Amino acid sequence: MRPKTIHDISFDDLAAWLTEQGQPRFRAEQIWQWLWIKGATSFEDMTNVSKSLRSALSQVFPIALPTVAEVHTSADGTRKFLLNLHDGHVLETVLIPGGEHFTQCLSTQVGCNLGCTFCSTGQMGLTRNLSAAEIAGQVIVARNHLWQTGTGMRLRNLVFMGMGEPLLNWENVDNALDRLIHASAMNFSPRRVTVSTVGVPGTLDALGHSHKASLAVSLHAPNQELREKIMPRAARMLPLPDLLARLRSYPMAPRQRVTIEYVLLGGVNDSLDQARQLVRCLNGIRCKVNLIAFNPCPGLPYSAPETEQVLAFETLLRDKGLTATLRKSKGQDISAACGQLKTRRTAGANNCGPTVTNT
């Protein structure tokens, strides 16, 4: 088994190891700050740590953060990163501009085995889970990029909406969340971190009880039959009635709401009758709805919805009292949707999933 990297170990484990080496406790705090606050990518960066200790650290705990292979910048400011992993695999992460800040879209797996029919990543199959260090490391890499390029814009929001199903890699996602929200590490507010899932029994409740992030649910269909066609494995793993029941009792702070994601696929799930079904589904769930118009392209069997249909769908939800927002597509010129760039690079294809949206 590969030794744990320095970004995979907890503060307490690091402190315990340093104590065994005869080091004072403040040394652990120094090193932790280098790793999580100053974004060190090498032990050589840790200039206030002795050379001998840096050398001892590097022999026991390798550093294996993702490294930047490619950065693509869209005309609208969206930046998509292809990152290399230590074993030669590649992952994607995207920075989406919004006002004075960026939102980062994070991947949690290389590929995905759920095979949702509108999603490029779903067509790849699953290669492997990402470690906690590889998940949180995406944020270190993107933040360092923003510091180095001097945009003056802050990374404020994190969304787990990239490649993979986060709740099928919950242990590592949970550990990454610890680093991302902890005050002595990256210090993101849990209110500004969102985990998006199709709904996975067991770990959905674990996310809720962790209070480490908000919840977004990829629903995309207002009944089980259609959901089984659009996202067959997800729909069978947790049938829609059970998913909705879990959302009705999902633990949330008083003003918190679940985000319901609904990709409008032309002629498939965008009728007014289906909008009415969706309203009925969401009865009793504290939620807001994000509508996303599908972006068609070769390789996926769907077309874009008509603009009038999208607006009518949105209007119906609002007339029935739901908060519904039509999300603007960003980064279309750089294939910013989950899985697109990697698919293009590895297969020479140009498959498209739902385009990354600003949150």
Site residues (vs ligand SF4, CB under 6 A): 112, 114-116, 119, 121-122, 163-165, 198, 218, 231, 338
Q: Minimum CB separation from ligand SF4 for residue 69, in Å?
A: 20
**DSSP states of 98-143:** ETTEEEEE---EEEESS--TT-TGGGTEEEEEPPHHHHHHHHHHHH
Q: At what angle do helices 132-149 and 170-181 cross, to 10 degrees?
A: 40
Q: Is 116 annotated as a binding residue?
A: yes
Confirm whether 92 is a catalytic residue: yes
Half-sphere exposure of 45 (CA within 13 A, CB side): 14
Dist CA 265 CA 263 (whole Å)? 6
Q: Minimum CB separation from ligand SF4 for residue 113, in Å?
A: 8
Output 122 or 222, the one with its CB closest to ligand SF4.
122
Q: Minimum CB separation from ligand SF4 for residue 232, in Å?
A: 10
Type of residue found at 27: R
Output 231 or 322, the one with its CB closest to ligand SF4.
231
Q: Are 357 and 329 in contact (CB under 8 A)?
A: yes
From 105, 297, 338, 352, the catalytic residue: 338
From 92, 134, 261, 314, the catalytic residue: 92
Q: Where are the alpha helices (DSSP H) in the chain?
A: 11-20, 25-36, 51-60, 132-149, 170-181, 203-210, 224-230, 232-237, 240-248, 272-281, 307-319, 340-347
Output 142 or 238, the one with its CB closest to ligand SF4.
238
Tell me phi and psi for residue 196, to 5 degrees: -105, 130
Output 122 or 305, the one with its CB closest to ligand SF4.
122
Structure token digits, residue 249: 């009792």
Type of residue found at 278: L
Q: Minimum CB separation from ligand SF4 for residue 45, in Å?
A: 34
Q: Is 164 annotated as a binding residue?
A: yes
Confirm whether 338 is a catalytic residue: yes
Q: Minimum CB separation from ligand SF4 for residue 280, in Å?
A: 24
Q: Which residues pair with 72 in a beta bridge?
A: 80
Output 123 or 175, the one with its CB closest to ligand SF4.
123
Q: Is the dihedral of CA 232, 233, 234, 240 positive or negative?
A: positive
Type of residue found at 177: L
Q: Is 325 helix (H, G, I), strand (E, B) or coil?
A: strand
Residue nearest to ligand SF4 (CB): 122
Cα angle 260-354-320, degrees, rounded to a multiple of 5: 35
Q: Is 8 helix (H, G, I), strand (E, B) or coil?
A: coil
Q: Minimum CB separation from ligand SF4 for residue 204, in Å?
A: 13
- Cα–chain center distance at 38: 23
Output 112 or 278, the one with its CB closest to ligand SF4.
112
Which residue ranges are tagged as binding site for S-adenosyl-L-methionine? Answer: 164-165, 196, 218-220, 295
- Residue ranges at the known binding site for [4Fe-4S] cluster: 112, 116, 119
Show binding-site residues.
112, 116, 119, 164-165, 196, 218-220, 295
Residues with catalytic annotation? 92, 338
